[in-house]
Amino acid sequence: MTVLSVEGVSKRICSRTLVQEISMTVKAGEVYGFLGPNGAGKTTTIRMIVGLIKPTAGRIRICGHDIQTGRRDALRSVGTIVENPETYSYMSGYRNLLHYARLAGIPRRKIKSRIEEVAEIAGLSDRLDDLVKRYSLGMRQRLGVAQAILAHPRLLVLDEPTNGLDPAGIREFRQLIRKLAANGMSIFISSHMLSEIQQMCDRVAVLHKGQMIAEKQVAELLDSEPRYRIRVSPPSLAQSILQTWGKEVKEVGREELLVTIDQKEVPAMVRLLVKDDVEIHGVEEDKNSLEETFLALTGEQRELSSSGGKGEQEHA
Ligand SMILES: Nc1ncnc2c1ncn2[C@@H]1O[C@H](COP(=O)(O)OP(=O)(O)OP(=O)(O)O)[C@@H](O)[C@H]1O
């Protein structure tokens, strides 16, 4: 069942195209990653999905309801945290959830049990009575999720939720997301960090300069041709042996080659090189291959490597 459908959506402001003809669908229980460098148009897209701004063209439907013509029904199925969750730091976690439960129109007699439920899901049960200003950033983000799911949305939309979290915070957040998806909720989550998307999502769309340049299963993205970095001498001889063997080889440094081969082929590669007196000083898996796949797609080395700050880009 399709929970979110985005069809040919564009957003122009004055003569500037921020987002151009984006199409995607998110199914029930799917964690969908929306990946792109700073300034790619992720927040703009998300703001259209949650009805904060109108698309210039195209159509967005949530659980079959058009966000323009059936706004109330569409938004009833969405929970969201766009940018930072709005929490009142001088109030307890419980009071915050109480406030939002009332706003969400949860019947009075159900409020307490629902707050306890979402707190349990978000791993905050023990800390509900503490003031939010005593919470870690990770706990605040999870409180934001607890708040967003109060009214049982089918779709949860999160804009860069792990920004600023430490590794433990990211791990806890990831577990929370997977738990929600396992219970059938769809989650649309943006990030500029590949490693997060890779670990959290089932499918990923890659956005670049307002355009969707790829949509893949994460497994497919990861499978994209394992590569090995080998340090050899002489590299020219190694290169020609490997090319004769039919492998893609690239010189990436002094006496360093990047070879596209399957893990199973590594022993054969070593044997082949040693047989022809090539000295091997090191063989290691190229851990950056996913990042490079992404960079090859976007061609934007600079922006991905800088994790902070807003990037400005030219749009055609
Ligand atoms: N109201 C606006 N008017 C003009 N340009 C805008 C407006 N809002 C955003 N932009 C520009 O549109 C582009 C996309 O911005 P957006 O915030 O959607 O990107 P993003 O992928 O979410 O990046 P970030 O992670 O940095 O927030 C940026 O170049 C931004 O400066």
Q: How many domains does the chain have?
A: 2
Same domain as 136, residue 47: yes
Same domain as 197, residue 137: yes
| Domain-terminating residue out of 170, 191, 221 | 221
Best CA proximity match to 55, nearest among 36, 39, 68, 40: 68
d(CA 82, CA 73): 20
For residue 18, the ligand 1 atom closest to its alpha carbon is 12
Same domain as 237, residue 216: no
Q: Ligand 1, atom 3: nearest CA belongs to which residue?
A: 13
pLDDT in tens, 230-260: 999 999 999 999 999 999 999 888 899 999 9
pLDDT in tens, 134-161: 999 899 999 999 999 999 999 999 998 8
Q: What residue numbers bound the domain in which 231 lies?
A: 227-285
In a domain, 162, yes or no: yes
Confidence grade of residue 289 (pLDDT, cut at 50, 70, 90): low
Best CA proximity match to 40, nearest among 267, 251, 300: 300
For residue 43, the ligand 1 atom closest to its alpha carbon is 22
In a domain, 258, yes or no: yes
* 307 CA → ligand 1 middle, Å: 16
Same domain as 260, residue 163: no
pLDDT in tens, 177-218: 999 999 999 999 998 887 788 889 999 998 988 999 888 888
Average pLDDT over residues 278-283: 96
In a domain, 306, yes or no: no
Same domain as 102, residue 85: yes
Best CA proximity match to 59, nearest among 125, 9, 131: 9
Give the residue ranges of DSSP H helices in 52-193: 71-76, 93-103, 108-121, 137-148, 167-182
In a domain, 305, yes or no: no
Comparing 18-27, 160-169, 282-291, the range with the smallest average pLDDT is 282-291
| Domain-terminating residue out of 183, 202, 221 | 221
Residue 301 has pLDDT above 90, yes or no: no
| Domain-terminating residue out of 173, 189, 221 | 221
Greatest mean pLDDT among 129-133, 219-223, 290-294 lies in: 129-133
Residue 258 tokens read as 């990047």
Residue 311 has pLDDT above 70, yes or no: no
Same domain as 105, residue 30: yes
pLDDT in tens, 29-83: 999 999 988 889 999 999 999 999 999 999 999 999 999 999 999 999 999 986 5
d(CA 301, CA 43): 21
Q: pLDDT higher for 306 or 29?
A: 29
pTM for this structure? 0.77
Same domain as 185, residue 165: yes
Q: What is the CATH number of the domain that holds 275?
A: 3.30.70
Best CA proximity match to 275, nearest among 309, 316, 242: 242
pLDDT at 304: 41
In a domain, 293, yes or no: no
Q: What is the CATH number of the domain that holds 85?
A: 3.40.50.300
Same domain as 243, residue 185: no
Q: Does 310 contact ligand 1 (Cβ within 6 A)?
A: yes
Same domain as 276, residue 248: yes
Same domain as 242, residue 116: no
pLDDT in tens, 99-140: 999 988 899 999 999 999 999 999 999 999 999 999 998 999
Q: Ligand 1, atom 24: nearest CA belongs to which residue?
A: 38
ipTM over cut 0.85: yes
Q: Does 235 contact ligand 1 (Cβ within 6 A)?
A: no
Residue 128 tokens read as 């509900």
In a domain, 150, yes or no: yes
